[in-house]
Amino acid sequence: MGDSIEELEELFASATSLFPTNQKKLDCELPERFEKLTLALQNQKKRHGVLETALDVVQESLDKMRFEYKSMQGECESLSNQVSEARQKHQESQAKSSQKDLEQSKRLEQIKAESEMYEFLLQTGIEELENGKYRGVIFKPKSLAYCDLDEFEKFQENKENTWDSQQQYLWLRKVYSQLEVSERWRHLL
């Protein structure tokens, strides 16, 4: 580009120098200068063609880069959506899992409590004495306790009949009063 400007300046200087008063000199130098001007214009056209080709190549490269950018931008958005969906599913499954764990933990505590209560309550028994009467045997942690069950005989005899709920309550109360139950289980008795 710098050469073209210098050539144009040279052409301009040549053109202005053509105006001398000496016509002979002018007639001799004019074809030579015209030839130089023609060569300069041809050279200028070649350089212009090279610049246009380079500009086209650059424009094509920019178009390819824009296409790749938009393509990658679309892929990024797609991957971002997939990541956010996966994250949301993971959080939902964690919430469900923690809720399930909590429910199972509560259920396990309840089952353990019932198991302890049944283990404790199953440490009771009923035995028949030699005289035909029944008594309850309660296995306490450090000793045994006995409870006479006079009403038990009546219950056995009248099992087809409905028992008075008051009597049944008193009889059960008598048996369970012998049990050593912690405050945790007392409400169940």
4-51 pLDDT, tens digit each: 777 777 777 776 665 555 556 656 666 777 788 888 888 888 888 888
Mean pLDDT of all residues in the chain?
Answer: 75
* Count of residues making up the chain: 189
Q: Is the pLDDT of residue 56 over 50?
A: yes
Higher pLDDT, 184 or 100: 100
According to DSSP H, which parts of 122-149 are helical?
Answer: none
Within a domain: 112: no
Whether residue 20 is found in the same domain as residue 77? yes
pLDDT at 175: 67
Q: Which residue has the tokens 């008594």?
A: 135
As a whole number of angstroms, the distance between CA 125 and CA 84 comes to 63
Within a domain: 82: yes
- pLDDT tens for residues 90-103? 999 888 888 888 88
Whether residue 77 is found in the same domain as residue 132? no
Q: Is the pLDDT of residue 154 over 70?
A: no
Within a domain: 171: yes
As a whole number of angstroms, the distance between CA 153 and CA 67 comes to 98
As a whole number of angstroms, the distance between CA 177 and CA 189 comes to 9
Within a domain: 175: yes
pLDDT at 185: 63
What domain range is 77 assigned to? 2-90
As a whole number of angstroms, the distance between CA 144 and CA 146 comes to 7
Per-residue confidence band for 158, with pLDDT thresholds at 50, 70 and 90: very low
Domain termination site, one of 90, 112, 133: 90
User: How many other C-beta atoms lie within 10 A of the C-beta of residue 136?
Assistant: 20
Within a domain: 71: yes
Within a domain: 104: no
Within a domain: 47: yes
Within a domain: 115: no
**Could you give the number of structural domains in the chain?**
2
pLDDT at 5: 74
Angle at which helices 2-17 and 23-121 cross, to 10°: 160
- Sheet bearing 134-139, strands edge to edge: 124-128, 134-139, 144-148
User: How many other C-beta atoms lie within 10 A of the C-beta of residue 176?
Assistant: 17
Reading phi first (left if > 0) and then psi (alpha if -120 to 50, else beta), residue 136 is in beta
Whether residue 14 is found in the same domain as residue 85? yes
pLDDT at 114: 75
pTM, 2 dp: 0.35
Reading phi first (left if > 0) and then psi (alpha if -120 to 50, else beta), residue 124 is in beta
